[in-house]
Amino acid sequence: MTEERPPFPPYTMETAAQKVRAAEDAWNSCDPHRVSLAYTVDSEWRNRAEFVNGRDAIVAFLSRKWARELEYRLIKELWAVHENRIGVRFAYEWHDDSGNWFRSYGNENWEFAQNGLMQRRYACINDLPIKEQDRKYRWDRGAPRPTDHPGLSQLGL
Give per-residue pLDDT as tens, 19-64.
999 999 999 999 999 999 999 999 999 999 999 999 999 999 999 9
pLDDT (mean) for 131-147: 97
User: Where in the chain are the domains?
Assistant: 13-136+151-155
pLDDT at 157 over 90: yes
- pLDDT tier at 1 (50, 70, 90 boundaries)? low
Q: Taking Cα atoms as reference points, which of 123, 86, 91 lies closest to residue 108? A: 123
DSSP letters of the chain? -----SS-SSP-HHHHHHHHHHHHHHHHTT-HHHHHTTEEEEEEEEETTEEEESHHHHHHHHHHHHHHSEEEEEEEEEEEEETTEEEEEEEEEEE-TT--EEEEEEEEEEEE-TTS-EEEEEEEEEEEEE-GGG----SPTTSPPPTTS--HHHHT-
Residue 2: what pLDDT? 77
83 pLDDT band, cuts 50/70/90, is very high
Q: Which amino acid is at 132?
A: E
What would be the CATH architecture of the domain defined by 13-136+151-155? Roll (3.10)
Residue 102 clears pLDDT 60, i.e. is over it: yes
Q: Is the pLDDT of residue 116 over 90?
A: yes
| Residues facing residue 87 across a β-bridge | 80, 109
CB contact burial 3-42 (16+ within 10 A = b; e otherwise): eebebbbebeeebbbebbbbbbebbbbbbbeebbebbbee
